[in-house]
Structure 1
């Protein structure tokens, strides 16, 4: 499965589970974590048996943002990963989903702190589940910094602009309920159950036709910046070929025969 000392990669059936694993540092981002995370996204895209990804954190936090000392490769064993960053200077942005969009659906399972870089990575996921004690926020301005992980662009496209600007300009923390109220997360569940809920959603996705799922996700993001007329035309280009697949025929047969479909990605 791969992974690094700060990033665990596991399989749960057809779901790849990527777990940030620096609980003693509230899963603050390190170079080993970013390298492992990037490798996980690549694995998910490359392996057709993977139909969904769950993204979570070990311990009592999702991610408390960037650890600048660790990113520099000091004191966390990161020295041996520096060559990876030199070979691909964009690797950290791909790992954080700023410059990469996985073709498989990504479900975030958040417990505890999901702030700064954690909230920025969250915006690169598709479906979001939070424990009721989770905390969100973009704290950069409070430190005189800029949330350069994509938040000034993405956040206003995902939640109402007034809420995006309040989060960006005040640097204040948000509860899970507040995050749900403004549309940043879709589910708030009892503490300790976010991962189970995310895996439950993943199973529902995994039971669907994989070609259809990936085409639907691609169409949603592709059409987001188009006019309605352009988007509808693009949707037809992506959608019509799905009807000609063996999976589409299998879906119809399974419905008629009252049995679960056996999709083959064909």
Structure 2
């Protein structure tokens, strides 16, 4: 187990679990947390032994977004020593990469949500691939209520991920959404009993981890790469990526394992 005080990093099998860890502030974003998140995304992609990522929060909360008390006091997220602040000065894009606005991990990212997942929490959520929530989880983009703008990508991503009428209602009213409603409009995929979101996320990760890693990463990449394309162009991209996977040793191993009725041993080759 590792981390920086505001983010806990743990390896569970082939899954890297990143836990937002400021429970006293409902895991409001801080500079150390954001720096740790970006480091976590990079670490997962650099390690071929990691096949999936789970993002969750400590203390029964996911993320309450920006720390408005710190924002009002200093004009920036809270926390961080001189070395952390120096990182943000050196890379003005760092916070956007951490929040998955300007960075997309090649490994699948599963969100395990308990409690509040609002404002910046809902914005980070939109950068994840699979979303699981406890039944008491709460979502929403509250920025307009404070005269702010949800600049983490929501005005672009949300209307592409859920029906436009629901996206604009969430963006313009700033009202909270319970887990059942969030699932109904398509923001999340699963609602589970409170306290079990992480367990369900790890179970889902295990299903992903059992698959061919090259295939998984190519499927994810293709889904995002073709999202804004016309059908003909998108199908050409899919064919190119897909045929590349069919030529791998892992694809041949998967076919042999099926014939031999055994578990496939994938080697990323």
**TM-score (structure 2 length as normaliser):** 0.96
Distance change (3 Å), C-alpha of 1:74 and 1:93: closer
The 1-side partners of 2:234 and 2:80 are apart by: 47
Distance change (3 Å), C-alpha of 1:91 and 1:38: same
**1:247 corresponds to 2:250:** yes
Compute the RMSD of aligned alpha carbons: 1.4
Q: Offset at 1:57?
A: 0.3
Q: Offset at 1:78?
A: 4.0
> What secondary structure sits across from 1:236 in the alignment?
helix
| Structure 1 residue corresponding to 2:225, chosen from 217, 222, 230 | 222
Q: Offset at 1:81?
A: 0.7
> What secondary structure sits across from 2:3 in the alignment?
coil
Mapping for residues 110-189 of structure 1, pairs under 5 Å:
110-189=113-192
The 1-side partners of 2:78 and 2:31 are apart by: 11
> What secondary structure sits across from 2:131 in the alignment?
strand
Q: Which runs of 5+ in 1 are unaligned?
A: none
Give the structure 2 partner of residue 90 of structure 1: 93
The 1-side partners of 2:221 and 2:5 are apart by: 32
Q: Offset at 1:2?
A: 4.6
Q: Offset at 1:65?
A: 0.4
Distance change (3 Å), C-alpha of 1:224 and 1:73: closer
> What secondary structure sits across from 1:162 in the alignment?
helix
The 2-side partners of 1:116 and 1:181 are apart by: 19
Give the structure 1 partner of residue 5 of structure 2: 5
The 1-side partners of 2:89 and 2:5 are apart by: 20
Give the structure 2 partner of residue 234 of structure 1: 237
Distance change (3 Å), C-alpha of 1:73 and 1:162: closer
1:55-114 CA deviation, whole Å, 9 max, x = no partner? 000011100001152786787344431011011110000000000010000000000000
Contact 1:30-1:78 at 8 Å conserved across structures: no
The 2-side partners of 1:104 and 1:16 are apart by: 10
Give the structure 2 partner of residue 109 of structure 1: 112
The 2-side partners of 1:60 and 1:202 are apart by: 21
Give the structure 1 partner of residue 66 of structure 2: 66
The 1-side partners of 2:55 and 2:16 are apart by: 9
Paired residues in the alignment total 266
| Structure 1 residue corresponding to 2:102, chosen from 85, 99, 102 | 99
Q: Offset at 1:3?
A: 2.5
**TM-score (structure 1 length as normaliser):** 0.97
Q: Which runs of 5+ in 2 are unaligned?
A: none
The 2-side partners of 1:73 and 1:36 are apart by: 17
**1:36 corresponds to 2:33:** no
| Structure 2 residue corresponding to 1:193, chosen from 184, 196, 215 | 196
Q: Offset at 1:160?
A: 0.1
Distance change (3 Å), C-alpha of 1:74 and 1:196: closer
